Structure 1
Amino acid sequence: MQAKDFQELQQDISLPRLSSYQHFFKPKETTELYGYYCWNEAISAAFFRLIGIVEITLRNKLHCSLSHHYYNPKSSGSKLSNDWYLFLDLNKRSEENILKITHYRKNGKWHPKHPTLSHDDVISRLTYGFWPKVLDIKNDKQNQLVPWGRLIPNVLPYHRQKSEGYWKKVKHQDILYARLEMIGSIRNRIAHFEPIWKQGALYEETRERQNKQPKRLENSPSNVQEVLVRLRLIHDRTQELLGWLSQSRLKSYQKSYTYRQLNWLLSQNGIDTYLALQGQNQLSQSSFKRSLARIMKQQKTVNITKKGNVVGVFYPVK
């Protein structure tokens, strides 16, 4: 990377954003600084795919469970999909989030949209942040308690704890809430293009309440190795939640390219490859085939070319 290239990057990415990388990673060369930035982009993209799988599965499980429980003669829809959200005592913000989807505002008043959106469409348009807050709903509009002890096992059918007695306890609901919030926090960082490696202190998985402060377990990561350990923990916990929701979705993810790529990115070899991005090896298809054994032994990342154009990239996953 030439000096003029870096000056342009500073303007395009912004100096304050690059400064956080400079301060934490202390790269020796400007190419390394940009390599760390590209590495963060890559892990963010991979994490976002996984979080998307979790988000879709979570909302569908909650929608199905709540639809089944609150189905009644006044419901619009079926036992599998209906307007359960109209029968719960939602907080004002959650009610407004749904209203903005189902209605339009004119002359200071809300009017139903036509044609009416299906219940599945309403659910699909609610953002991730809506769903953890669902656990805060204590009563329906008839002032009857929401039976979370019975509902959560249907949402998390593969969790080791399946009893109503376990899930009706607030402390156990708080553990689940903390896991959902952790994933939501990562999702927001990615959506706002914030460095995903920049993590705060690690606290026990519970919820802050008036008589309960989560214990501090670890300080913020202070070097590359601690960053990798923390990100692997987040990856493991996100997969664990997905497994509680759906074993088939977890198995599908763990067979995917994204899973293998993210594991590689969260390794020292993955980082080193991005730091050396500007000097990446290039081989033609025929040369790559002849050199494959050596490349695998040396754990090299190689751009594969055809007629001078890059047509693929080989990278080691372990």
Structure 2
Amino acid sequence: MRNNLGHSEGAVNLENINHARLEPYISTARLATYSNFFAPADKVELFGCYLWSKEVAAAFFPLLQVLEVTLRNAIHNEASQRLGSYWFDHVATRSRNRMTMGQQRNVAHFTQSIADARQKIRRDLRLPNNSPVSADRIIANLTFGFWTNLFSAAYDVNRNPNALWPVLLRPVFPQAPQGHRDRAKIQQKLLAIKTFRNKAFHHEPIWNIGRPAKVEDAIQKLLNTHDDILDIVNWISLDGGDLIEKAGYSSTVKRVCSLEHLNYLKRPGENDKPISRVKRELRSIVRRPNQTTQITINNRKFGKIHGR
């Protein structure tokens, strides 16, 4: 714990790390990105900013995983009911002459992804080349990029019984508010999240998407991304959103994506107190007659202690 309650003994001390030896493995060019934006006072603060970025990415992983699993299962379940378990083998698209080059690439990526998934499963299970593969196995092997590409206009075909959109928008996103249950708007959100996800999974700084002008702007962008992920999950399933909240995934993102946490990592241990001292202070507070002391952690009210 920190702030009023201090930090436990053995907190990380970046001053004891050999920064010169670490730098080549992170790369001077990458660290320069942090140096130019955060303007750290020294190497300790620089590496603190770098570790903050790592913690931010780690905090988002559970949310991204819940989003990906929720999205793919919602689409697969609804498409299967309408088109059959192997819906992806005969899903309708716009005619080629009505698609842009980008939309044609989306369709080509779709077809290749299904073929690659089948081949990989057969290879992993040591099956003959023409052996049937279960639809569920294929779905589990498709990437997040596959699912975001499904929101391309190429799959938006009015009055076609084998089309995904717009007919499946309501079944897949039953909780989406009026005006947001729109394929193009959902695609825009998902593409932004995919860019964010790819940067996180490839160990790139995710705080600099959109070239923020200052640290506060970068943090606000991260919190906006958190809100977008939570929005889409809730539009599909309120239970999925409830899981994110109750499992602490959402509160972890908000705690890490803060100036307070960034500053702590820049100067770790600066305001820490050993547990022994914290215990003494707590005993002193408890002994104060007729007094109530507010306890805060990370600038959030945690509870109250009433004196005897």
TM-score, with normalisation over the residues of structure 2? 0.75
How far did 1:13 drift? 0.9
1:155 to 164, 172, 192: 172
Matched, 1:183 2:193: yes
Tell which deviates more after alignment, 225-234 or 187-196. 225-234
- Of residues 218, 230, 241, the one that matches 1:250 is 241
Distance 1:2 1:57, change over 3 A: closer
Q: How far apart are 1:152 and its partner, in Å?
A: 0.8
Cα contact 1:228–1:266 (8 A) shared by 2:
yes
1:130 to 141, 146, 149: 146
**Cα displacement string for residues 66-114 of structure 1 (whole angstroms, at most 9, x for unaligned residues):** 111102xxxxxxxxxx1111112572221111111112699xxxx6365
Partners of 2:143 and 2:273 lie apart in 1 by: 42
How far did 1:298 drift? Answer: 8.3
- The percentage of counterpart residues that share the same residue type is 26
Query: How much has 1:277 moved relative to structure 2?
Result: 2.0
Q: 2:136 aligns with which of 120, 125, 135?
A: 120
Q: Structure 1 residue aligned with 2:79, among 63, 66, 71?
A: 66
Matched position secondary structure for 2:226 = helix
Match of 2:224 in 1: 233
Which one scores higher on RCO, CA 8 angstroms, separation ≥ 6? 2
Q: In the alignment, which residue of structure 2 is the partner of 1:311?
A: none
Q: 1:185 to 1:147 in 2, by over 3 A?
A: closer
Q: Distance in 1 between matches of 2:28 and 2:201?
A: 20
Q: What is the identity, as a one-letter code, of the residue corresponding to 1:196? A: I
C-alpha distance in structure 2 between counterparts of 1:178 and 1:139, whole Å: 15
Q: 1 or 2, which has the higher strand percentage?
A: 1
Alignment TM-score, normalising by the size of structure 1? 0.73
Return the alpha-carbon distance in structure 1 between the equivalents of residues 263 and 299 of structure 2: 12
Q: Distance in 2 between matches of 1:121 and 1:290?
A: 58
1:117 and 1:83 mapped to 2: Cα distance?
10
CA shift in 2, pair 1:98/1:265, >3 Å? same
What residue ranges of structure 2 are gaps of 5+ in the alignment? 1-13, 94-106, 286-292, 302-308
Paired residue type of 2:178:
Q
Does structure 1 conserve the Cα–Cα contact (< 8 Å) formed by 2:156 and 2:166? no
Q: How many residues align?
A: 260
**1:21 pairs with 26, 34, 39, which one?**
34
Given residue 83 of structure 1, which amino acid in structure 2 is its aligned partner? Y
Distance in 2, Cα, partners of 1:292 & 1:183: 44
Higher helix share: 2
Q: Map Cα deviations across residues 161-218 of structure 1 (whole Å, 9 max, x no partner).
A: 39xxx96xxxx32111001111111110001100011111xxxxxxxxxxxxxxxxxx
The whole-number CA distance in structure 2 between the counterparts of 1:277 and 1:256 is: 27
Q: How many angstroms does 1:290 deviate by?
A: 4.4
Residue number among 265, 273, 283 corresponding to 1:274 in the alignment: 265
Cα drift, residue 50 of structure 1:
0.5
- Conservation of the 8 A alpha-carbon contact between 2:166 and 2:183: no
Asked if 1:260 is matched to 2:251, the reply is yes
SS at match of 1:149: coil
Partner of 2:54: 41
> Is there any run of 5+ residues in structure 1 with no aligned partner, and where?
72-81, 201-219, 301-314
Q: Which residue of 2 aligns with 1:84?
A: 87
Kindly provide the amino acid, as one letter, of the partner of residue 232 in structure 1: L
